[in-house]
């Protein structure tokens, strides 16, 4: 099963979706879903001493501007195991330039975590959580000789719009029929 394509489209909406976790919070190993098989593939060990500040993954049945599924940062009180499905909702988006591509990171909260599930907007986050995310994406490829630039932060409404645009782009590229 390739989770990018084979999850029911009924489970992916702009305001509520299942995210697939690739990298647990605190990890330095960069895993990515292999687009052909749906398995996780180790891309690299980060060249920096920084680690992922949140659980990181993607939203199935989406197609983003960087030609990958739409990225998601899941704020959760626990580390989430890779390939776990987590039902969540967006509270904002970090938009960045990564190698000339717009690379949006949807910031999401799991419905099932009482520590975080009262947050509805990115502006409600404690400043340090937000600062850690921003710092990580500003420097995490620096020692590889690559440049990333965090362009701006946007609201929950903007995040929902980007998720919907990525769902629409997926349907246009791959078809909107449920598997």
Summarised one tens digit per residue, pLDDT across range 123-137 is 999 989 888 888 888
**In the prediction, which pLDDT does 178 show?**
57
Q: Distance between the two ends of the chain, CA-based, in angstroms? A: 11
CA distances to 18, 102, 120, 157 from 111, rounded to whole Å, are: 10, 28, 11, 18
The per-residue pLDDT for range 60-79, each reduced to its tens digit, is: 999 998 899 999 999 999 99
Q: What is the pTM of this model?
A: 0.92
* 170 belongs to an annotated ligand binding site: no
* 105 belongs to an annotated ligand binding site: no
> In whole angstroms, what is the distance from residue 166 CA to residue 3 CA?
16
Alpha helices in 72-155 (DSSP H): 127-139
CA distances to 7, 66, 72, 91, 122 from 159, rounded to whole Å, are: 21, 16, 10, 7, 10
* 177 belongs to an annotated ligand binding site: no
| Rounded average pLDDT per 10-residue block, the chain, 179 residues | 93 98 94 91 89 94 94 96 97 84 91 94 90 82 73 89 98 78
* 151 belongs to an annotated ligand binding site: no
**In the prediction, which pLDDT does 144 show?**
75
* 66 belongs to an annotated ligand binding site: yes
Length of the chain counted residue by residue: 179
């Amino acid at each position: 099963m390739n989770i990018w394509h084979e999850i029911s489209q009924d489970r992916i909406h702009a305001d509520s979706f299942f995210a697939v976790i690739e990298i647990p919070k605190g990890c330095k190993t960069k895993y990515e879903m292999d687009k052909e098989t749906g398995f996780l593939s180790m891309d690299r060990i980060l060249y920096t001493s920084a680690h992922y500040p949140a659980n990181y993954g993607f939203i199935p049945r989406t197609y983003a501007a960087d030609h990958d599924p739409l990225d998601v940062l899941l704020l959760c009180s626990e580390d989430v195991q890779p390939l776990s499905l987590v039902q969540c909702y967006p509270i904002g988006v970090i938009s960045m330039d990564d190698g000339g591509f717009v690379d949006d990171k949807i910031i999401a909260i799991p419905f099932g975590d009482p520590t975080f599930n009262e947050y509805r907007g990115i502006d409600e986050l404690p400043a340090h959580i937000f600062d850690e995310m921003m710092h990580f994406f500003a420097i995490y490829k620096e020692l590889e000789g690559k440049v990333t630039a965090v362009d701006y932060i946007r609201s929950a409404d903007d995040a929902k719009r980007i998720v919907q645009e990525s769902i629409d782009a997926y349907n246009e590229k791959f078809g909107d029929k449920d598997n």
